[in-house]
Amino acid sequence: MAYRRLLVPLTGTAAGEAALATALMVARIWNAHVHCLHVRVDARDVAPLAGEGLSGAMIEEMMAATERESGERAARVRALFERFAETAGGVTLATSPETALRTDGPTLSFESIPGREEDVVAQQSRLYDLVVVPHPEAGEDVSSSDALHAVLFDSGRPVLIAPREPPATIGTRVCVAWNGTAESAAAVAAALPWLHRAQAVRVLYADEYQRRGPPVDGLLTYLRWHEIEAEKVLFKPITKEVGAGLLGAARDFGADLLCMGAYSHSRLRQLILGGVTRHVLENADIPVLMCR
C-alpha cells in the first residue's frame, strides 16, 4: 500500500508554499507524483450580475477586470511553483504518467484551469490518493478553507492538512484519534500506509470524544490484523475543550502526524458551537490526516 498521486490546490499564499513543501516530503517517502492545481476565477461567473440591474457595459468592464486579475494571480502562482521546483532538488517535472513512472524519485506537475475552486478541486480530487491542502487559518485567502471543506465533504478522498510551517518529519510517530464513528474508521483505513511504516503508533480516546460505535480495544484488534502494534492512551479535555486535549496528547507523544475523522457532528453545528474538528483545523501545528 502506498500513496502514488497527490493533489495540491495552490493559491499563491505562504500557507500554499508550506502545503507544497509538505506534499513533496510525502512524495519523497512514497516515490509519488505531486500535481499542483491552480483554479482561476472564471470571468463568466460575473455575467449573472446582469440580473442585478447592472448595464452591459458595466458587466463587460467587470469581466475584463476579473480576467486580468485572475491572469495575474495565475502567473504569480505559476512563478511560485517554478521557483519551488528549481530549488527543491531531487525532483523531476513530469506531465504524463509514463514520464513519472519511468522516473526514480518524486515528480511534479502544474495545471491552471478556470472555474469555482471548491467545485473543481473536489471533483479533481476523486482520482488522487491524497489531497494536501494549506492550513485554513494561515494567510488571508479563505478560498483555501473552502477547498478543504469541499474535498472533505465531496471527494471521498483523504485530506492532509499541512501545518503553517513545513514539518521536520512526517509519519514517524503517528497518533490516531478514535471515537468509534464511520469518519474515524475511514481515517484509519486511509492512514494504514502511514501506520505500517511508523516507528510508534498511539491511539487516543476519551469518554467525552466517544460516539456510538466500536470502543478503542476493537480498533487495537483491527490494527493487529494488519500487523500494526499500537498503544491506547486516554486523554482528557483541556478547559472542557476536547480538541485541545487531543492536540495536547499528540504533542506529549511527539507525534508528527495525527489521523482523525472530520465532522462527526454536522459542520453547521460545529461552526456555531465549536467542535473537535474545528479546534484541530484552527490550532494544529503538525500535519493532520482527515476523512469525512
Q: Which residues of the chain have pLDDT under 50?
A: 138-144, 269, 272-273
Round to the nearest angstrom and report the end-to-end CA distance of the chain: 21
Residue at a domain's end among 121, 141, 161? 161
Total count of residues recorded for the chain = 292
Residue 198 lies in a domain: yes
Residue 140 lies in a domain: yes
**192-232 residue pLDDT tens:** 999 999 999 999 999 999 998 999 999 999 999 999 999 99
Let me know whether 88 and 141 are in one domain: yes
CATH code of the domain covering residue 214: 3.40.50.620
Residue 168 lies in a domain: no
Let me know whether 137 and 189 are in one domain: no
Amino acid at 105: G
Using a 10 angstrom Cβ sphere, with 0-12 exposed, 13-18 middle and 19 or more buried, the burial of residue 202 is: buried
Amino acid at 143: S
Determine the pLDDT at residue 147: 79
Residue at a domain's end among 161, 185, 203? 161
**Number of neighbouring beta carbons within 10 Å of residue 145:** 19
Let me know whether 252 and 287 are in one domain: yes
List the domain range (segments joined by +) for residue 264: 173-291
Let me know whether 9 and 153 are in one domain: yes
Let me know whether 228 and 99 are in one domain: no
DSSP assignment, residue 253? H
The Cα–Cα gap between 137 and 134 comes to 9
Residue at a domain's end among 134, 161, 188? 161
The set of cell numbers assigned to 197 is 511504516
How would you classify the pairing of strands 159-161 and 231-234?
unpaired
User: In this structure, are residues 117 and 142 in contact, taking their beta carbons and an 8 Å threshold?
Assistant: no
Using a 10 angstrom Cβ sphere, with 0-12 exposed, 13-18 middle and 19 or more buried, the burial of residue 265 is: middle
Let me know whether 31 and 88 are in one domain: yes
**35-78 residue pLDDT tens:** 999 998 776 665 665 555 666 677 677 777 767 777 788 888 99
Mean pLDDT of the chain: 87
Q: How many structural domains is the chain composed of?
A: 2
The set of cell numbers assigned to 196 is 505500517
